[in-house]
Amino acid sequence: MPNFERQELSGVIVVDKPPGITSAKVVARVKKWLKARKAGHTGTLDPFATGVLVCCINRATKLSRFFLHGKKKYEAVLHLGVETDTQDSTGIVTNVCHNVEFSKKTIESAFKRFEGNIQQLPPVYSALKHKGIPLYKLARSKKPVQKPARQVSIITLKILEIHPPFIRFEVFCSAGTYIRTLCADIGASLGCGGHLKELRRIESSGFTITDAVTLEELEDLTLSEKLSDRLISMSNALKDMPEYIADKVLVNKINHGYIITKNDFMAEKINAFEGFIKIVDTNKTLVAVLKHAKDKNRYDYCCVFNS
């Protein structure tokens, strides 16, 4: 009888999420088509938004923690002069201003003020929780809760097109940044208000839109049994993490949970491994992710993938 555990697919699929569907429903479809035991995404996109949704399949769900706090890049459209209660195009209009004709210099100056580390108030319509209840549920029941401002990082903010009342821009930012709040804040700084009209994520934790497949393409790949063409292996998914190719002795020690120290690595490699390390075997299959224990000679286990 075949061993399902050994035959199952594990890795990362990057989906180009279409509009009008939740991230959870995208993952449910992926899980169904791949007949996966487990699947999860590494960062929600609002239903109206599109773009990069990183989906971890089966054993790769253990890697989600390494992608959740990765940087994101978006293309977005700011609609000046119209404010909504949700700060995006799905909300109820709360204020309208017809004076939205600004010089290019004025708009560029307003955008410039939001580059760097900034304080941002999370929207009251968000998935953040208050006493276990999502804020958007409280807001919809007319009991909005405003969470305190928190620091986010706007690494780059580039204007792509200006066609009043619309401004298309690109933003590269830290995880946890709300682009709709950024739009509302830029609109407020110009004195006319504004909201997020369109949002497309083009990069997340190093995965780009060129890595992505549409749901239609994914279904076709599954039916034609060519899914492996787009499945990113677990070791390749951790592309920015230092790699160590382990011999059979080290692989065996890891699989049996033995304490791993610097003495288990080649001498010339020791100093390179001060943070997370991905351990792969000679076939480049991910064996484990370890982390150096500060002020100690050993490495702690983060996750292990026994063969």
Given the residues 16, 46, 185, 211, select the one marked as catalytic: 46
Catalytic residue at 85? no
Name the token pair of 221: 């790949």
Neighbours of 136 (CB within 10 A): 16
Identify the sign of the CA torsion 113, 104, 174, 121: positive
The answer to whether the CB of 203 falls within 8 A of the CB of 52 is yes
Strand partners, 207: 204
Query: How many residues make up the chain in this entry?
Result: 307
Which residues lie across from 118 on neighbouring strands?
152
CA dist 178 and 196 (Å) reads: 10
Q: DSSP string of 154-165?
A: EEEEEEEEEETT
Residues classed as catalytic: 46
